[in-house]
Amino acid sequence: MLRPGRTVLALVLVVALAVPASALEVQIREIKVDAMVHAAFNIRDLLPDRFRKVLDDNGTLHLRMQVELWESRPVWDRLVYPAVIRVVRITRDQPPPEPMPVDVEIGKSDRIIATGRYYLHVIATIGTLAERDADTVGDAVFGRESEANGLGSLGRLVVRTALQINDYLQSVSAEAKSRRMTGTDLRKTTP
Q: Is the separation of the CB atoms in 105 and 37 below 8 Å?
A: yes
> In the predicted model, is pLDDT for residue 51 greater than 90?
no
Are 60 and 91 a contacting pair, CB within 8 Å? yes
pLDDT tens across 147-187, in order?
Answer: 445 555 666 566 556 555 554 457 889 999 999 999 999 88
Domain that holds residue 104: 21-128+171-185
Does residue 121 fall inside a structural domain?
yes
Contacts of 137 (CB under 8 A, 6+ apart): 159, 160, 163
User: Does residue 13 sit within a domain?
Assistant: no
- Provide the pLDDT confidence category of residue 134 given band limits of 50, 70 and 90: very low
Domain contains 9 = no
Q: What is the mean pLDDT of residues 123-134?
A: 71
Residue 108 has pLDDT above 60, yes or no: yes
Which pLDDT score is estimated for 47?
Answer: 85
- Residue 61 lies inside a defined structural domain of this protein: yes
DSSP for 110-132?
A: GG--TT-EEEEEEEEEEEE--HH
pTM of the model: 0.68
Q: How confident is the model at residue 190 (pLDDT cuts 50, 70, 90)?
A: very low
**pLDDT tens per residue across span 71-99:** 999 999 999 999 999 999 999 898 889 99
Residue 23 confidence class, pLDDT cut points 50, 70, 90: confident
- 38 within some domain: yes
In a domain, 94, yes or no: yes
Confidence of residue 140 (pLDDT cuts 50, 70, 90): very low
Phi, psi angles (nearest 5°) of residue 153: -65, -40
Average pLDDT over the chain, rounded to whole?
A: 77
**What Å distances lie between residue 31 and 43, 102, 109, 175, 179, CA to CA?**
16, 12, 12, 16, 10
Per the structure, the count of domains in the chain is: 1
179 in a structural domain: yes
Percent of the chain scored above 90 by pLDDT? 45
User: What sign for the dihedral angle of Cα 110, 112, 113, 114?
Assistant: negative
The enclosing domain of 78 has a CATH number of: 2.60.40.2420
Q: Is 191 contained in some domain?
A: no
Between CA 52 and CA 46 the distance in angstroms is 10
